[in-house]
Amino acid sequence: MTIAHTIEHNEAKHRFVISVDNREVGYASYAQRRDGVLDFNHTVVDQAYRGRNLSTPLIKEALDWAREQGARVVPSCSAVENFIDKHPEYADLRA
């Protein structure tokens, strides 16, 4: 069951942040390589919020943004890699 949340892109920190009740409970971070490829390298959800399906909308938001930017991605984070494997409509983003 997904709980009400908000997702914001913190470009300065190169991460997408998910919040519940105005409290940051997770993020998906990326590194922008010189060739323009985005390396999604880390996804974290606070232990108290795990199992509530928060990583799915977080990763989806991040990958949708990458697509809007015309960027390719390297899913070096296993959560991002698993998301792409389960959602083949994102497979074309792989660098």
Residue 71's CATH number:
3.40.630.30
Give the ranges where 1-95 is alpha helix by DSSP (H): 55-69, 78-86
pLDDT of amino acid 2 = 65
How far is the C-alpha of 40 from the C-alpha of 15, rounded, in Å? 9
Q: Per the structure, how many domains does the chain have? A: 1
Domain extent, residue 74, equals 6-93
Structure confidence at residue 27 (pLDDT): 98
> Is 41 in contact with 55 (CB distance < 8 Å)?
no
Q: Which two tokens stand for residue 87?
A: 């959602």
53 located within any domain: yes
Average pLDDT of every residue of the chain: 96
Residue 1 lies in a domain: no
- Rounded-to-integer distance, Cα 28 and Cα 8, Å: 11
Q: Using one digit for the tens of pLDDT, what is the confidence trace for 58-92?
A: 999 999 999 999 999 999 999 999 999 999 999 99
Local confidence band at 3 (pLDDT 50, 70, 90 cut-offs)? confident
Rounded to an integer, the average pLDDT of 14-32 is 97
The answer to whether the beta carbons of residues 73 and 60 sit under 8 Å apart is: no
Spatial CB neighbours of 70, under 8 Å, sequence gap ≥ 6 = none
Q: Is residue 41 part of a domain?
A: yes
pTM value? 0.94
